[in-house]
Amino acid sequence: MNRADIIAALYARRSARGFLDTPVPRQTVAAILAHAARSPSASNTQPWRVYACAGAVRDRLSDALLALHDSGGHGHCEEYVYYPPAWREPYLARRRTLGKALYGLLGIPRGDAAGMALQYARNYAFFGAPVGLFFTIERGQGQAAWLDLGMFLHAVMMAALGHGLETCAQQAFARYHQVIRAQLAIPDSEILVCGMSLGHADPAEPANRLRTAREPVEAFARFAGW
């Protein structure tokens, strides 16, 4: 095992927001998921479920989501609380810093609500990626399943890098779970947690130049005993 490569992959991972339309073979996607399935889970319960789409299925779903989003969403909403009801520091400042950096790269000035809305809508076009992944857990699972799924998601991102691909995890899909559920035959017994775009990152996409900062270890960790 090359430890240096593992560390390098952690620093290389990013949320790509622009992809080439280069197809990704089904066997590659299956291999990525097989690698990610080595993620830890409570008592090895492996609570994650994945629904992958490409080609005409991906295109039909994207068209339906974009049409619904452009029409105002018609009351659709996610099944769980994702963001806090009110932001406070230091999280608010970090969120604003990210938004300023991203929209700056895209040439969208502050206050340009229409431009921001168009960029947000690109979520539902998978940012141009040829593969869409959707992640669910069964209803009635405890908090452990959500933690396990988070670790699995990160493993998918790392495994994708190992295959020369990049990703963007997107909670935005959860709002339209009913549409996604119907088109991908996701049973009502499962909660759609999020989606993910997968493919070859577009080097010409301005948003892909975004590099986010991280807090120093001293800001979030406490050490005792040495």
* pLDDT confidence of residue 1: 78
* pLDDT confidence of residue 128: 98
* pLDDT confidence of residue 55: 98
pTM: 0.96
* pLDDT confidence of residue 74: 82
Whether residue 184 lies inside any domain: the answer is yes
Tell me which H or E stretch contains 33: helix 26-36
Whether residue 101 lies inside any domain: the answer is no
73-106: b (≥16 Cβ within 10 Å) or e: eeeeebeeeeeeeeeeeeeeeeeeeeeebbbeeb
* pLDDT confidence of residue 203: 98
* pLDDT confidence of residue 190: 98
Its domain, for residue 71, covers: 8-86+124-213
* pLDDT confidence of residue 204: 98
Is the Cβ–Cβ distance between 197 and 126 less than 8 Å?
yes
* pLDDT confidence of residue 184: 98
CATH number of the domain encompassing residue 38: 3.40.109.10
Residues of the chain with pLDDT under 70: none
**Per the structure, how many domains does the chain have?**
1
Whether residue 203 lies inside any domain: the answer is yes
* pLDDT confidence of residue 40: 98
* pLDDT confidence of residue 53: 98
Whether residue 162 lies inside any domain: the answer is yes
